[in-house]
Structure 1
Amino acid sequence: MKRILAGVACWFILGQFVQAQSIYSFQGLGSLNHQGMPNNVAMGEVGIGTPTIWHINTQNPANLVYNKFSTFQVGLEVDRRSFTGDEVSGKDTDGGLRFLGYAFPIMPGKWSSSFGILPYSSVSYNTFSQGTVDGTNEEVNQISDNRGEGGLTNLFWSNGFMIKEKFLVGVRANYTFGSIEKTSTISIGGSDVPVSNITYEQLESYSDLSFLFGLGYRHTLSEETYLNFGATFSPQTPFNGASELSLIRLSPTGSELETVEVGSQTIQFDLPGTFGFGVSYQKLNKYTIGFDIESERWEGAGSGSQTYNNSVKMALGIGWTPDFDNVSSYWKRAKYSAGFNYHKLPYIVNNQALTDFGINFGASLPVSGFSSLDLAFKWGQLGESTNGLIKETYYKVVIGATINDRWFIKRKYD
């Protein structure tokens, strides 16, 4: 199994993240992805104040201290979306490897570290519009075909430390990189006007560093019953890149006639400052109830060419294990999870803020030792089908694997 997962990890690193088309991913850096693991998705995407010893916490680096094992996680996600609006409808399905992380204790109970790779944003859209050109004597039609693909990826390195008993701090360094390609093909023509086709092709490439800081605290209520608190902070960070623009003249049949390289320039997109808070009530190996709220200061962020709203996300989740020590019933040893989340997005369309609502559930099924097969499902709705907007209804299925082992313990006996 370890050899298979090692091969999957190589495929994951060399491949691309993919997601089904989302109409609204044309804005900013695209659709912003949840920065948690499959177990977090199953529990409503909570994680800031919800520590666990069985999985990697990528949402709050301070909680890594609870990882007593060397933990490897990988996950596959399938995304299916349907679109409805004024005289608009459609469907799309895509998927691929999305989660990869490895965590290990350096000083067990005092210092743990992790690294991995997660998609930060995804761009995948194809829109079509047509109309007439104003101010002409003859009726001249204009057709626009707009496409975008790509996205950004976080390569992260996190460390969590116990400063005093029950008080934790952590830091996560992100190297974010990737490219976004946007093309717009415009066709103009009429009964007495020859058809003219031109494509505007823009390639934006980014690479830069950012940091996320975390705090954690555990209050003991009784034996094996805890109240956990967590907080995260990330300052507004300038994100640097380069943009290249090309103009392509096409024949009426669509073949390329001429390409003009307009040139390239440096660009900057300011990532927003974020603050998150989470709390959870936990009965060890029995149940956990968690709540997160996260705010992003998008006002003053971005590239300056677009207006953004401040963003807020709330998540509530529960996970429970019927009987962790039951040796006769496999299903009683499994962990079951459910939750929901609400996200007010920073993007504004037709002077309206976009909202995303999701309902999640899943399970972690025990396999050899302390490892597990992690399953999650999310039903979500983005936008609405009125006021000139388009409603996206989507389904996400996540299949993940977690391997827990003690890889760096020196053997006493051979």
Structure 2
Amino acid sequence: MKRIIAGIACCLLFGQLAQSQSVYSFQGLGSLNHQGMPNNVAQGEIGIGTPTIWHINSQNPANLVYNTFSTFQLGLNVDRRNFSGEDISGSGTDGGLRFLGYAFPIMAGKWSSSFGILPYSSVSYNTFSEGEIPGTNGSVSQVSDNRGEGGLTNFYWSNGFRIKEKLLVGLKMNYTFGSIKKTSIISIGGTDVPFSAATYEELESYSDFNFLFGLGYRHKMTEEKYLNFGATYSPKSPINGNSELSLIRLSTSGSELETVEVGTESIQFDLPQTFGFGVSYQKLNHYTIGADMEFSGWSKAGSPTALYNNSFKIAVGGEYTPDYDDVNSYWRRIKYAAGFNYQKLPYIVNDQALIDFGINFGASLPVSGFSSLDVAFKYGQLGESSNGLIKETYYKVVIGATINDRWFIKRKYD
């Protein structure tokens, strides 16, 4: 199993990261992705105040201290969306590598480290519109075909430290990089106007560093029951890049007649200041119940040419294992998980804020040793089908694998 998983990971590293097709991904940096692992998705996307020894905590680096195993995780994501609105309908499917991470203890119980890749944002849309040009009395029409693809990826390196018996601190460094390509094909024609068409292509490329700081605190109530608290903070961080604009004149058959490189300019996009808080109640190896809240100051971030709302997210969820030690029943050793999340997105469409709501559930299926196969599902709704907006109903399936082992340990006895 380990060889198969490692082989899949190596192949996918050179492939496309997961995309989430959304008509709203034309804004800003695109659709913003959850920065947790498959087990977090199954629990409603909680993780800031939810430590675990079995999986990597990529949401709060302080909780890495609990990773006393060497842990490798990967996940694949499939996203299916249906679109509906006023005289609008459609559907689309995207997918690919969604999570890849590795964590290992440097000083067991005191210092653990992790690195990996997570998609930060996804751009994947294709919209089509047609209509009359104002002031022409219907004699001239225009057709627009708009497309976008790409997104940004976080390559992260995290470290968690125990500074007191109950108090943990952590630091996560992200190298955010990637490109976004937006294409608009515009055609004009009419009774007394000859047909003409042109393509506008804009390629934005970004790369820069940003940081996230974490705190963790665990209060022991009994030998098996704990109350956990977590907090994260990301300062406002600029990511710098370049924008290239090209204009392509097309023939009536759609072939390229002339390409004009309009120019290249330096651009900057400010990632927002973000605060996160989490709390959970655990009975070790039996159940966990938790909740997270995140607040992001998008109104003072973004780009100079666009306005954004401050955003927030609430996530509630947990997991339950009937009997972790039951060697006679496989089903009673499975971790079952469920949760939900509600998020106000930073982007504004038709002077309205976008709301994303999702219901999550899943399971971690034990395999050899302490490893598992992780499955998560999410049913969600983004936007609405009135007020000039489009409602997206989507289904996400995440299939992941976790390998826990004690690597890099020299045996004293064979």
Query: What range describes the TM-score normalised by the shorter chain of this pair?
Result: over 0.9
Task: Give the 5 Å matches for 1:108-257.
Answer: 108-136=108-136, 139-257=139-257
**Hey, what's the Cα distance between the residues in 2 that align with 1:343 and 1:289?**
20
**Hey, what's the Cα distance between the residues in 2 that align with 1:91 and 1:300?**
34
CA contact (8 A) 1:138 1:192 kept: no
CA contact (8 A) 1:20 1:92 kept: no
Corresponding residue number in structure 2 for 1:296: 296
**Hey, what's the Cα distance between the residues in 1 that align with 2:228 and 2:314?**
17
Corresponding residue number in structure 2 for 1:404: 404
Query: How far off is 1:129 after superposition?
Result: 1.2
Task: Give the 5 Å matches for 1:11-22.
Answer: 11-22=11-22
Task: Give the 5 Å matches for 1:302-321.
Answer: 302-321=302-321
Are residues 390 and 324 of structure 1, via their aligned partners in 2, closer, same or farther at CA, if it must alter by over 3 Å? same
**Hey, what's the Cα distance between the residues in 2 that align with 1:74 and 1:18?**
12
**Hey, what's the Cα distance between the residues in 1 that align with 2:17 and 2:411?**
39
**Corresponding letter in the other structure for 2:340:** F
Corresponding residue number in structure 1 for 2:286: 286
Task: Classify the secondary structure of the residue corresponding to 1:222.
Answer: coil
**Hey, what's the Cα distance between the residues in 2 that align with 1:308 and 1:198?**
30
Are residues 20 and 277 of structure 1, via their aligned partners in 2, closer, same or farther at CA, if it must alter by over 3 Å? closer
Unaligned runs of at least 5 residues, structure 1: none
**Hey, what's the Cα distance between the residues in 1 that align with 2:97 and 2:399?**
9
**Hey, what's the Cα distance between the residues in 1 that align with 2:86 and 2:41?**
32
Task: Classify the secondary structure of the residue corresponding to 1:401.
Answer: strand
**Corresponding letter in the other structure for 1:182:** K
Corresponding residue number in structure 1 for 2:36: 36
Task: Classify the secondary structure of the residue corresponding to 1:400.
Answer: strand
**Hey, what's the Cα distance between the residues in 2 that align with 1:334 and 1:126?**
41
CA contact (8 A) 1:49 1:290 kept: yes
Task: Classify the secondary structure of the residue corresponding to 1:3.
Answer: helix
Query: How far off is 1:133 after superposition?
Result: 1.5
Task: Give the 5 Å matches for 1:317-332.
Answer: 317-332=317-332
Task: Classify the secondary structure of the residue corresponding to 2:332.
Answer: helix
Task: Classify the secondary structure of the residue corresponding to 2:326.
Answer: coil
Query: How far off is 1:18 after superposition?
Result: 3.3
Instruction: Give CA deviations for 1:16-45 in whole Å, capped at 9, x if unaligned.
Output: 113242100000000000000000000000
Query: How far off is 1:12 after superposition?
Result: 2.2
Instruction: Give CA deviations for 1:333-358 in whole Å, capped at 9, x if unaligned.
Output: 11000000001000000000000000
CA contact (8 A) 1:177 1:207 kept: yes
Moved over 6 A (4+): none
Instruction: Give CA deviations for 1:127-178 in whole Å, capped at 9, x if unaligned.
Output: 1111112233771101111100000000000000000111000000000100
Corresponding residue number in structure 2 for 1:334: 334
Corresponding residue number in structure 2 for 1:50: 50
CA contact (8 A) 1:81 1:93 kept: yes
Are residues 348 and 137 of structure 1, via their aligned partners in 2, closer, same or farther at CA, if it must alter by over 3 Å? closer
Are residues 271 and 389 of structure 1, via their aligned partners in 2, closer, same or farther at CA, if it must alter by over 3 Å? same
Are residues 112 and 138 of structure 1, via their aligned partners in 2, closer, same or farther at CA, if it must alter by over 3 Å? closer
Corresponding residue number in structure 1 for 2:90: 90
Corresponding residue number in structure 1 for 2:376: 376
**Corresponding letter in the other structure for 2:308:** Y
Deviates more, 1:86-95 or 1:352-361: 86-95
CA contact (8 A) 2:18 2:77 kept: no
CA contact (8 A) 2:18 2:119 kept: no
CA contact (8 A) 2:132 2:138 kept: no
Instruction: Give CA deviations for 1:353-374 in whole Å, capped at 9, x if unaligned.
Output: 0000000000001000000010
**Hey, what's the Cα distance between the residues in 2 that align with 1:390 and 1:116?**
34
**Hey, what's the Cα distance between the residues in 2 that align with 1:354 and 1:137?**
35
**Hey, what's the Cα distance between the residues in 2 that align with 1:325 and 1:135?**
76
**Hey, what's the Cα distance between the residues in 1 that align with 2:9 and 2:101?**
9
**Corresponding letter in the other structure for 2:379:** W
Corresponding residue number in structure 2 for 1:73: 73
**Hey, what's the Cα distance between the residues in 2 that align with 1:184 and 1:52?**
47
RMSD: 0.9
CA contact (8 A) 2:84 2:392 kept: yes
Percent identity at matched positions? 78
Task: Classify the secondary structure of the residue corresponding to 2:8.
Answer: helix
| TM-score for the superposition, normalised by structure 1 | 0.99
CA contact (8 A) 2:246 2:259 kept: yes
Corresponding residue number in structure 1 for 2:347: 347
Q: Does 1:387 align with 2:377?
A: no
**Hey, what's the Cα distance between the residues in 1 that align with 2:134 and 2:372?**
62
CA contact (8 A) 2:20 2:31 kept: no
Query: How far off is 1:253 after superposition?
Result: 1.2
**Hey, what's the Cα distance between the residues in 2 that align with 1:135 and 1:43?**
55
**Hey, what's the Cα distance between the residues in 1 that align with 2:136 and 2:89?**
32
**Hey, what's the Cα distance between the residues in 1 that align with 2:47 and 2:275?**
14
**Hey, what's the Cα distance between the residues in 1 that align with 2:18 and 2:361?**
22
**Hey, what's the Cα distance between the residues in 1 that align with 2:135 and 2:324?**
74
